Amino acid sequence: MCGLVGETGSGEQPGVHAALRALAHRGPDDEGCWFDPAGAVTLGVRRLITTDPGKAANQPLISRDGRFVLAFNGYIAGHRRLISGLRDHGQQVESDSDAALFLAVLGNALRVGGDPANALCGFSGQYAFALWDRDTCRLWLGRDPVGIKPLYFSEYGSGNVAFASEIAALRCIVPSAPDRDVSPHYLAHLFVPAPETGFADIRQLRPGELMCWQGGSLESRMIRVAPCHRSVGDNTIAELRQAIRQSVADAMDADREVGTLLSGGVDSGAIAAMASDVARERGQKPPPGFVMQFGNAERDETPRARLLAKHLGMELHIVAAPDRPEEILAHLNDGLRGFGAPFGNPSVVLMQALGAAVSRHVPICLAGDGGDELFGGYPRYRAAAMLRYWHHVPDVIRSLIAGRIADVLPRGMARFVRGGQGRSADAFDHWNDRCALVELGARLSVPADLPGDLCDRMMAFDRRVTLPGNQLAMSDRCGMAYGLEYRVPLLGHEVMAIAKSVSPRVHLRGGGKSLLRAAIAPMMPDGYLSAAKIGFNPPVAEWLVKIGRLLWGSDGRVIAELFGDLPLTVAQRHLYWHRAVRGREPDEALSLWALLVWRVWQMHQLFQEQTPDRDAVINHRKASSVCGTSSRSGVGTAPAA
């Protein structure tokens, strides 16, 4: 993985170098910068070495004929097989890195006038890139179709464009004012959905977006995932098991040590079991596992993680969840620096602490991201499937239950009856909007072309909007903050194709994830898959009190600062605060946490600092770098590929 930065102006090279310093945490192993002789473009890369540690793989890469210059962040599944196939057909691929493969395939397509989106649709994995075509003076910017790797851009000056892997780095080139108009979307999603970012002049590429800049104009198209699943029989379970195993094997194909998260859940358990099996087949010991431990036994999945680790013969590292107010706030601030934008999922604090701990052992870690969205793991999917039956109940009875009676129902049931009052569109909004306070004016950003019935639309919404904007973004920022690359095998194209070929109602049988559970059941210890899901959720109500008082002192001051000029009476403010911190209203607690993060973001140093100091973040990585950092600048000094 890497950090990318670049621009098309002729006078912004100091800004590019400042941006590279701001991205040092993403690439502690090498730095490269290439300047176009005509002054048309500058490309910079900070590299985390995961494949091919040789100097020939350092970036930016230049094609053998000198036409193309590539800055690449990511990995391509099965890259060694694909490189071997190209070489067998007489094509040149000058190194064994993912980037060299990417340059060869994309360059070949552009040389013959092909559509680069079609050339890239067959790549499974995760990536963002910038490619400069010196013959046509075109700059191509792209992001993988799932949205695993980020890329931000800004148009500035007289038709120029700048880009970077993170907002803080991009602001070294293009200062931009905060865009407070994003608050309705932020409060509804707990993040700012693409293409917005929280800054007026900065945008993020949408998942799968491919942009072309030429002569001051930008054009956009989409990279679609190529159809790849061809059923060979009626045993979908066996096909899924094999697809996951192959995706895990591809993710483990690296020239550095690999670990795996082991939360105690189904998704991470599936990855850990497959990784252990692959390692043994290769004559290696299973990769180390990592789990976060909570002091509250009701939140702690360490016992289940220990059970699975023992079953798999895996070494398990236990990471203590942050608990002191000072460390919670420190991790929150670090997370906001990585995002550059408001990010209201409180799990970012846990992921920051986890990333710091995991990176001390391995530079690559497998994770189970995407399992809930692909295989029907969220309760709201089951609610969507049940809605049509609920609508057979007379309106007057549904209204009665959704009123006073809902106040004494369990949280999930109360959300169901309140959201299921009207049309399916109303249920969609109610069950997906994360803001429980109507006075905050939260508003979802929903694509207009979501397919199918309510359950289909909700799963598609999560795959297209929530997964890339929330979990995948969190894994990227919280891992790369410490030079740690998370890889997500469940989002391999073949795995996704099989999951999508099965109807949601099949996935939802038996409480959800029926297909995934069946695929991994032979590899799990007895009773592991039947245990109730705990989830990776911090004690938000407790954290509200701890961070609020740390920032502002007394509860009265906390309430005043938190609600600010919102249209709420004093009585309403106190009511919401006390309901949230008692721990009985988790939805309201989450809404107030998002509001607290918004206030912290408004105060944050990112509003004033153009080049945040990240030296303290990456010091622990320098000693274990594969090679020392070197700086390459000047025309044509990057290696050929």
% the chain with pLDDT above 70: 93
pLDDT band at 610 (very low <50, low <70, confident <90, very high): very low
In this prediction, residue 606 carries a pLDDT of: 44
- Neighbour count for residue 61 (Cβ, 10 Å): 30
CA–CA distance, 569 with 550 (Å, rounded to integer)? 25
In this prediction, residue 233 carries a pLDDT of: 59
In this prediction, residue 56 carries a pLDDT of: 86
Range name among 244-258, 406-420, 444-458, 526-540 with the lowest pLDDT average: 406-420
Is residue 633 scored above 60 in pLDDT?
no
Is residue 618 scored above 70 in pLDDT?
no
Is residue 406 scored above 80 in pLDDT?
no
In this prediction, residue 23 carries a pLDDT of: 97
* Helix (H), strand (E) at residue 217: strand 217-222
Buried b (16+ CB within 10 A) or exposed e, 412-423: eebbbbbbbbee
Is residue 638 scored above 50 in pLDDT?
no
Residues annotated in the binding site, as ranges?
96, 261
- Residue-wise pLDDT tens digits, 411-467: 778 888 888 888 888 899 999 999 999 999 999 999 999 989 999 999 999 999 999
In this prediction, residue 541 carries a pLDDT of: 96
In this prediction, residue 148 carries a pLDDT of: 97
Residue in 2, 212, 435, 455 annotated catalytic: 2
Is residue 36 scored above 80 in pLDDT?
yes
CA–CA distance, 119 with 223 (Å, rounded to integer)? 9
In this prediction, residue 562 carries a pLDDT of: 95
In this prediction, residue 231 carries a pLDDT of: 62
In this prediction, residue 471 carries a pLDDT of: 97
**What is the rounded average pLDDT of the residues 82-104?**
92
Average pLDDT value for the chain: 90
More confident residue, 409 or 297: 297
The owner of tokens 């559509």 is: 115
In this prediction, residue 417 carries a pLDDT of: 83
In this prediction, residue 175 carries a pLDDT of: 87
CB-based contact 516:489 (threshold 8 Å):
no
CB-based contact 474:351 (threshold 8 Å):
yes
What global pTM score does this model have? 0.92
Range name among 276-290, 365-379, 390-404 with the lowest pLDDT average: 390-404
In this prediction, residue 453 carries a pLDDT of: 93
In this prediction, residue 619 carries a pLDDT of: 38
CA–CA distance, 238 with 240 (Å, rounded to integer)? 5
In this prediction, residue 625 carries a pLDDT of: 33
- Residue-wise pLDDT tens digits, 205-221: 999 999 999 999 999 99
Is residue 623 scored above 90 in pLDDT?
no
The owner of tokens 């990855």 is: 271
- Residue-wise pLDDT tens digits, 543-590: 999 999 999 999 999 999 999 989 999 999 999 999 999 988 899 999
Is residue 611 scored above 60 in pLDDT?
no
Query: Minimal CA–CA distance to 139: which of 60, 242, 74, 196?
Result: 60
CB-based contact 369:536 (threshold 8 Å):
no
CA–CA distance, 636 with 33 (Å, rounded to integer)? 10
DSSP string, 59-125: SSEE-TTS-EEEEEEEEETTHHHHHHHHHHTT----SSSHHHHHHHHHHHHHHTT--HHHHHTT--E
For residue 544 the two structure tokens come to: 């509200």
**What is the rounded average pLDDT of the residues 45-56?**
91
Query: Minimal CA–CA distance to 128: which of 88, 83, 75?
Result: 75
Query: Minimal CA–CA distance to 121: which of 139, 146, 150, 97?
Result: 146
Is residue 1 scored above 90 in pLDDT?
no
Which value, to the nearest 10 degrees, does the dihedral of the CA atoms of residues 492, 227, 498, 126 take? 10
More confident residue, 193 or 57: 193
Residues annotated in the binding site for L-glutamine, as ranges?
96
CB-based contact 574:559 (threshold 8 Å):
yes
- Residue 571: helix, strand or coil by DSSP? helix
**What is the rounded average pLDDT of the residues 171-188?**
93
- Residue-wise pLDDT tens digits, 328-373: 999 999 999 999 999 999 999 999 999 999 999 999 999 999 999 9
Q: Residue 352 is which amino acid?
A: Q
**What is the rounded average pLDDT of the residues 267-286?**
96
Range name among 289-303, 387-401, 450-464, 574-588 with the lowest pLDDT average: 387-401
Range name among 106-115, 288-297, 535-544, 599-608 with the lowest pLDDT average: 599-608
Under DSSP, the state recorded for 180 is: G
In this prediction, residue 454 carries a pLDDT of: 94
In this prediction, residue 230 carries a pLDDT of: 61
- Neighbour count for residue 86 (Cβ, 10 Å): 17
Query: Minimal CA–CA distance to 253: which of 27, 118, 116, 84?
Result: 84
For residue 320 the two structure tokens come to: 């203590």
Q: How far is CA 463 from the centre of its chain?
A: 11
- Residue 527: helix, strand or coil by DSSP? coil
**ω into 195 cis (within 30 of 0):** yes
Inter-CA distances, 19 with 154, 166, 457, Å = 14, 9, 39
Question: Is 455 one of the catalytic residues?
Answer: no
Q: Please return the burial class of 155, using the count of CB atoms within 10 Å of its CB with bins 0-12, 13-18 and 19+.
A: middle
CA–CA distance, 590 with 588 (Å, rounded to integer)? 5
- Residue 382: helix, strand or coil by DSSP? helix
Residues 6 or more apart from 177 whose CB is under 8 A from it? 199, 200, 201
pLDDT band at 624 (very low <50, low <70, confident <90, very high): very low
* Helix (H), strand (E) at residue 548: helix 540-552
DSSP string, 225-282: PPP-----SS-HHHHHHHHHHHHHHHHT-SSS-EEEE--SSHHHHHHHHHHHHHHHHT
The owner of tokens 């009856």 is: 417
